[in-house]
Amino acid sequence: MARKRKGDPIHGWIVLDKPVGMTSTRAVGRVRWLLNAQKVGHGGTLDPLASGILPIALGEATKTSNYIMDGAKTYRFTVTWGVQTDTDDSEGAVVQTSDARPTAQEISAILNDFIGTIAQMPPQYSALKVDGERAYDIARSGEQVNLVAREVQIDRLEVVNHRDDSQTEFEVDCGKGTYVRALARDFGQKLGCFGHISALRRTRVGPFFETDIISLEKLEELSHIGARCQELAQVIRSVETVLDDIPALAVNASDAARLKNGQAVILRGRDAPIYSGTVFVASSGTPVALAEFRQGALHPKRVFNLG
């Protein structure tokens, strides 16, 4: 007999405003405890230094996490000039310093070099695996981490505020795998003055924006008995929220049952020619599965246990 899961079967997304100083793992654990949720995950780690959008998947929404992690992101960040650290942020040890400071014009002149598809060397202190070990574990042991530059996509990069000679605030729209800490490091090296991230906030992840966020403090209020069934339900975004970029297909109850049982469904008539690749399937407004269309049929990839 299967062991019953602890907690409540809650499904959907919480767009949390992660506070500075808290790890993403701790934030997820806090949300799980507040909601008494059976299953929780997140859509993209934020460093403890960073604040902003941490999408948290509840229940069946965890099956869609890769779609949010692959989504475009926006960050607002501050670079402090004259100091490079081993972590490329203000939490690391100082490794190089300079008395030089860039002007606003010098900074603007280099930005085009960082827009488009660029090769970026990840920070030594990153979660990437090298020979089975996390890069940050190797770096903490005092060893040099042998990382390889990776292609990342930068769609927009702007100066928001050149506060003074020592700090400049930027905003960037970027794709999966971009390290904003590495941008700060590379800016400083290109300008010949060194630099590191001293403030970082994520303001967009895929379909989620700052207007969608909820703080931990507010979530604590709503989790109290009496508020849970009303206001809290409005805060939880639907499972399919992150699937807007893939085709959607409605099926009848019979085809939905087949997909949920792992069986393929043949598409007939006008539906067949217009679908290819991954499709989000729903029945009577309820998510059924993520399916792959091939050889005239839908084959279930991930089935949602909802409804």
Query: Any idea which residues carry the catalytic annotation?
Result: 47
Q: Could you give the CA distance from residue 270 to residue 267 in angstroms, rounded to a whole number?
A: 8
CA distance readout (Å), 140 to 11, 147, 208: 38, 15, 34
Q: What number of helices (H) and strands (E) belong to the chain?
A: 8, 18
Residue with tokens 């996490």: 65
Give the burial string for 101-119 (b: 16+ CB within 10 Å, else e): ebeeeebeeebeebbeebe
Neighbours of 4 (CB within 10 A): 7
CA triplet 257, 261, 264: central angle to 5 degrees?
85
Q: Do 212 and 15 contact (CB within 8 A), yes or no?
A: yes
Cα distance from N-terminal residue to C-terminal residue, the chain: 22
Tokens representing 26 are 């701790």
Most distant CA pair in the chain: distance in Å?
71
For residue 231, the 8-state DSSP code is: I
Cβ-proximal residues to 182 (8 Å cutoff; 6+ apart), any chain: 88, 120, 121, 122, 123
Q: Do 220 and 33 contact (CB within 8 A), yes or no?
A: no
CA 52, 53, 57, 58 torsion-angle sign = positive
The phi, psi pair for 88, rounded to 5°, reads 65, 15
